[in-house]
């Protein structure tokens, strides 16, 4: 099967993160010939070394990468399957060509735990021009498209998490000093932080400073720019290690090194779930707080204790640092923390028992192709 994937970057790294993982899974895992169209190659280059932001066309890991410009190459005809990520319509000229060839057309939707997703997953939308678009919803139940996951991911993760030396070697390769790493050997907590600017950072720092267990915070460069100053201002404040943006497999390893992962958007959220460690999700903010309804829908499925749910809610309320500090202190209490770590493993096992999104999508497209 040959496929085009179209990606418009809205959330800096989340959109291209999902599309790049999907492209690699379909290519490497399903044997598809994939062409990925991206409008923002600079953001792509931050998460995939070797991508050149100034090239109209290039190849990476066996995948054809096309810069989606205002004037796309008219000679690039639609393939068997056209996947638009998150309702980004293909270019007008490309749509004209689609009207002649009628490929399988998929709208890959945003991840949601809301109940209505199950009834809408896979539905067709007939357009006046004769084209049919099908909606494909990622999700957490067998009635949805599932989550992206590589076949050997769990085994690789388990081996890495069981090897402290491998973790330290990896973190050193990212520039973390031995002085920051050594407390991990004597029980220090490691927390990764990837958040939007609205996150109540002061509450996070306050709770970690007050906790008797020392903490190492791993944060990407450019995220939470006031973090170092906030930590230094509090006695017992966490240590901070700034990490470069890394390729996706290495970001997985960052999450695997951490005891607790604060993540944002969709791609890092799913990868944190596969880390089988407690996670705090900052969902992408939307007007009229629609995102909080989506957050509650996920919390209704996530088997974490009430203390963890309270922390996740507080983390998604900008400006309420006191609520975050109280909630994090409660979630880190020994009994609550033990329950949360167990629920994270249970959640990982339950989701990993389902087929992954790429397998589901490939099968769905194959069935549609038979009817063309």
Tell me the two tokens of residue 354.
């389902």
Adjacency order of strands within the sheet including 33-38 = 57-60, 63-67, 33-38, 2-7, 81-85, 104-108, 132-136, 124-126
Counting Cα atoms < 13 Å in the Cβ hemisphere of 83 gives 28
Q: What is the DSSP pairing of strand 63-67 with strand 57-60?
A: antiparallel
Rounded-to-5 percentages of helix, strand, coil across the chain: 45, 15, 40
Query: What is the spatial distance between Cα 153 and Cα 136, in angstroms, rounded to a whole number?
Result: 23
Cβ 254 vs Cβ 99: under 8 Å:
no
Q: Is 242 helix (H, G, I), strand (E, B) or coil?
A: strand
> CA nearest 112: which of 83, 133, 143, 81?
143
User: Which residues, including other chains, have CB under 8 Å from residue 163's CB and lie 6 or more apart?
Assistant: none
Q: Which of 4, 15, 39, 267 is catalytic?
A: 15
Query: From residue 315, how far is each of 25, 162, 308, 353 by CA, in Å?
Result: 32, 30, 11, 29
How far apart (Å, rounded) are the C-alpha atoms in residues 10 and 15? 7
266 labelled catalytic: yes
Query: What is the token pair recorded at 73?
Result: 């190459």
Alpha helices in 26-107 (DSSP H): 41-47, 92-101
Pick the catalytic residue from 64, 80, 252, 266: 266
Q: Is 15 a catalytic residue?
A: yes
Q: Which two tokens stand for residue 355?
A: 């087929």
d(CA 18, CA 182) in angstroms, rounded, equals 34
Q: Residue 10 half-sphere exposure, CB side, CA atoms within 13 Å?
A: 16
DSSP letters for 303-358: ---HHHHHHHHHHTSTT-HHHHHHHHHHHHSHHHHHHHHHHHHHHHHHHHTSPPHH
Strands 124-126 and 215-220: unpaired
244 burial class (0-12, 13-18, 19+ CB within 10 angstroms)?
A: exposed
Catalytic residues: 15, 266
């Amino acid at each position: 099967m040959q496929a085009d994937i179209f990606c418009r970057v809205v959330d800096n790294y989340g959109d291209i993160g999902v599309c790049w993982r999907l492209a690699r899974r379909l290519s490497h895992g399903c044997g598809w010939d994939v062409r990925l169209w991206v409008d923002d190659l600079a953001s792509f280059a931050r998460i995939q070394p070797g991508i050149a932001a100034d090239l109209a066309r290039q190849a990476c890991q066996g995948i054809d990468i096309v810069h989606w410009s205002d004037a796309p190459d008219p000679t690039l005809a639609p393939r068997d399957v056209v996947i638009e990520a998150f309702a980004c319509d293909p270019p007008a000229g490309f749509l004209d060509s689609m009207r002649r060839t009628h490929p399988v057309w998929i709208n890959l939707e945003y991840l949601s735990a809301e109940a209505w997703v199950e009834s809408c997953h896979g539905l067709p939308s007939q357009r006046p021009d004769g084209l049919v678009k099908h909606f494909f919803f990622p999700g957490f139940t067998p009635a949805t498209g599932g989550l992206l996951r590589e076949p050997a991911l769990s085994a690789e993760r388990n081996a890495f998490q069981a090897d402290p030396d491998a973790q330290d070697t990896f973190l050193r390769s990212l520039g973390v000093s031995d002085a920051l790493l050594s407390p991990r050997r004597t029980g220090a907590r490691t927390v990764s932080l990837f958040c939007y600017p609205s996150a109540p950072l002061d509450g996070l720092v306050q709770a970690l400073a007050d906790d008797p267990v020392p903490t190492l915070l791993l944060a990407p460069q450019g995220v939470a720019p006031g973090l170092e100053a906030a930590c230094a201002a509090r006695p017992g404040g966490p240590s901070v290690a700034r990490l470069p943006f890394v390729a996706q497999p290495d970001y997985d390893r960052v999450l695997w090194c951490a005891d607790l992962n604060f993540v944002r958007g969709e791609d890092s959220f799913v990868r944190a779930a596969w880390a089988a460690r407690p996670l705090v999700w900052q969902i992408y903010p939307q007007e009229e707080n629609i995102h909080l309804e989506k957050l509650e829908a996920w919390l209704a499925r996530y088997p974490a204790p009430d203390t963890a749910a309270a922390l996740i809610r507080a983390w998604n309320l900008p400006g309420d640092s006191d609520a975050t500090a109280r909630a994090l202190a409660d979630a880190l209490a020994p009994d609550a923390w033990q329950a949360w770590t167990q629920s994270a493993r249970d959640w990982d096992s339950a989701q990993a028992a389902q087929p992954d999104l790429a397998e589901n999508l490939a099968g769905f497209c194959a069935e549609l192709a038979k009817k063309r």
